[in-house]
Structure formats: C-alpha cells, structure tokens
Amino acid sequence: MQSIACATLWPYDASVKNNPFPLLGSPGLAGLLLLSASLLLGTLGNACTTQTSSEESNSKIRVITTVSPIRNIVENVGGDRVSVTAVVPEGTNSHTFEPAPSLVREIVRADLIFANGLNLELPLIELVEANLQDGVEFILLGEATITPDEYVYDFSFPKDGGDPNPHLWTDPMLAGAYAEHVREALSRLDPDRAAYYEANTIAFLARLEQLDAAIRTAVATVPQAQRVLLTYHDSFPYFGPRYGLTIIGAIQPSDFSEPSPREVADLIEQIRRAKVPAIFGSEVFPSEVLKTIADEVGAVQVATLRDDDLPGDTGDIENTYLGMMVENVRTIVESLGGDASALDGFDISFSWIPFKEHTDG
C-alpha cells in the first residue's frame, strides 16, 4: 500500500465548526443501509485490536489509535477495510498511561496513526514521533477539530498548567468531527475506496444526529434547578454546555491525586449552595473521597460514568462509542431526576457497511 505526507498535524477546518457533519448533505444518504455489525476484536499485548487472518490483514490499512472511543470512531469509518489497534487498554488512566517499548513494533508497521492530542497521551505521542516511518500520517484529532480559543480549562485542567481539557469526544458533534478527519485521512491513503469511507461516515454521522436529538429530549426532562453536573474527573466540559447542564466543578485535582482536606471542605460548601442531587464518579478513578462528600451533603453517589472506557468487553454489541454515550446519559439524567426513555431502543451497534455490500449496491 502506498502512503503519503509525513507526520502532518492537519489544521482546523472552519467548515467543520460551522457544520460538523458536512457529509450529511451528500447525495445518496437515503439509499444507505444502516447495517448493524460487530467487528471480531481481540487483544494484542496491552492493545485492543481488530483480529484478521494474515492474508486479510495484508489487504487492510493498519491503524493505531489511543483511547477506545477513537478506536471505535475509526472502526465505524473504515469498516472492514481497516485493522485497528487501540494501544491504551480500556479501564486505564489515559492521562498517565506509559506505553511499553514493545509498542514500537506496532508503530513501525502502521499505515496511519491517530491520537486525541491536546496533551492527553504525551508519552505515547513522544514514542510515536520518535519512531514514525516516512510517509505515515500521524494526526492529532483534538488540535484538528478545535482552535486554541475554544479550549476549555477547569479544575482538573487549569489554564496555568498549560493542558486544555482533552475530552472532546464526549460531545457527539465533536466525535462526528473526529470521524470526518478520519475519513479524510483514510481517503488520502486509499483513494480507490474513498466512496466507501464516505458512505460509512454518513451512516455514523446520521446515528450521531439521532443520538444528539435523544440526549436533548432526555435532558429536557430534568428539572431546571437540577441540571448541574459535578464529577470526580473533569470529563464532560464539552458535553455539558451543549445540553444545558451546568458544570459546577470536579473533585480530582490536576495532578490526579486526591483533593486536600481544604479542597474537600470547599467542595462540600459549593455543593450545598448548588443543592446538587447527585455526584458522579468514574470507573477509571475510584475514590473514597467521593463517598465522603456525598454522605456529607446528602447527595446520591454514582460512580459508573465512563469517558474513555467502553461498556462491556471487546466484541460485545455495547462495546461502542454509542453504547458508552447512551449509558452515560441514561445514568446522568436518571440520577438528576429526569426521564431517559428517549434513549430506549437506540441502536448502539456499529454503523459501518460491509465493503462488499457497498460495492454490490
């Protein structure tokens, strides 16, 4: 397979900001078959990867990604023409993940590499940059999607620390922008299948639009005074404002330690003033402090939110970006006193179309 352009960080495209899903205006959307499918996934070392035979693998684009939501976005765009390896294991703190030196052999074999960027995976980014092969694109999706004036800084990611909050993908519209960048990169690398990647992207973006509408409907059922979000880790700064949820803070400091007694006392006072009904923790960041604060203020403690850990196990139907978002929104809405039934029956499976069906169609 012939590759192009080396180690380019593709610039922000204003058209994505103004219209996150420009492909939804493309002809042929009505004729797309939104076929649900699951990729056969397995594990390679600490990496989550699509398993293929040697012959099939040689005909596919080898893609390396970092966190699982990005892996799943790439899978939905690339369909059965890509073999995707996510090198940050699910359930791992992606901020502090240290890649093993053995990952170099995967990097040198890759045809295309995506990371979130925005300083999320710095040790991994350094390893990739040191071993990137000539002609292989390495794309930081965060920097490609928003501009510095759109960066969000907060308690876990203070501006004086220099690291913006990197969790763009928790906003489905920004996840859609990621998908557009993935489509463009795959099409540059494999122009003969550009129409296939476009069709898959259209199908995925259509699903994201449906999800966006369902989230809006569900959040609207939460009493106005209770539309407040306090999390242990600051993972939802792009999600909250989109859906009218006020983020009043986070518990975890920027160095990923437990908060000090003074910080805990300040948080308790803030929560009491805001009358927060629920405090949300994370499966990746278990904390006894969360329970202490919840008990002190009489709030419900919910410790099951996910930001880059997909539900289920690799290969399960719910082990998708859509599955993660539906689970998160249901948890948030119901814990804040709302009705999440707008999410009932939402299709969380893969949206990609098998290549043969695309060509036969």
Q: Tell me the pLDDT of the chain (361 aa) as tens digits.
A: 433 333 333 333 434 444 556 666 543 433 333 333 333 333 333 444 444 444 444 589 999 999 999 999 999 999 999 999 999 877 666 666 788 888 999 999 999 999 999 999 989 999 999 999 999 999 999 999 999 999 999 877 888 888 899 999 999 999 999 999 999 999 999 999 999 999 999 999 999 999 999 999 999 999 999 999 888 778 899 999 999 999 887 776 666 667 788 888 888 888 888 888 898 887 666 677 888 888 888 888 888 888 888 998 888 899 999 999 999 999 999 999 999 999 999 999 999 999 999 998 6
Note the pLDDT tens digit of each residue in 320-359: 999 999 999 999 999 999 999 999 999 999 999 999 999 9
Number of domains in the chain: 2
Asked if residue 4 belongs to a domain, the reply is: no
Distance of alpha carbon 259 from the chain centroid? 26
Asked if residue 274 belongs to a domain, the reply is: yes
Looking at the chain, how many residues does it have?
A: 361
Same structural domain, 251 and 308: yes
Note the pLDDT tens digit of each residue in 274-325: 888 898 887 666 677 888 888 888 888 888 888 888 998 888 899 999 999 9
CATH assignment at residue 294? 3.40.50.1980
Same structural domain, 30 and 154: yes
> Which contacts (CB < 8 Å, 24+ apart) does range 8-12 have?
8/137, 8/138, 8/139, 9/117, 9/138, 9/139, 9/140, 9/143, 9/144, 10/139, 10/144, 10/181, 10/184, 10/185, 11/144, 12/143, 12/144, 12/145, 12/146, 12/147
Same structural domain, 159 and 241: no
Asked if residue 269 belongs to a domain, the reply is: yes
**β-sheet with 47-50: strand ranges across:** 41-44, 47-50, 82-86, 61-65, 112-115, 137-140
Same structural domain, 233 and 200: no
Which of the 8 DSSP states describes residue 37? B
d(C-alpha 279, C-alpha 250), whole Å: 9
Asked if residue 71 belongs to a domain, the reply is: yes
Asked if residue 180 belongs to a domain, the reply is: yes
- What's residue 256's pLDDT? 66
Same structural domain, 177 and 279: no
Same structural domain, 117 and 39: yes
Distance of alpha carbon 25 from the chain centroid? 24
d(C-alpha 49, C-alpha 43), whole Å: 6
Asked if residue 93 belongs to a domain, the reply is: yes
Asked if residue 8 belongs to a domain, the reply is: no
Q: Which amino acid is at 284?
A: V
Same structural domain, 103 and 131: yes
Same structural domain, 157 and 208: yes
Same structural domain, 127 and 273: no
Q: Give the tokens for residue 130.
A: 């040191």
Asked if residue 86 belongs to a domain, the reply is: yes
Same structural domain, 101 and 195: yes
Same structural domain, 231 and 186: no
**Structural domain for 273, as ranges:** 221-340
Same structural domain, 208 and 354: yes
- What's residue 172's pLDDT? 97
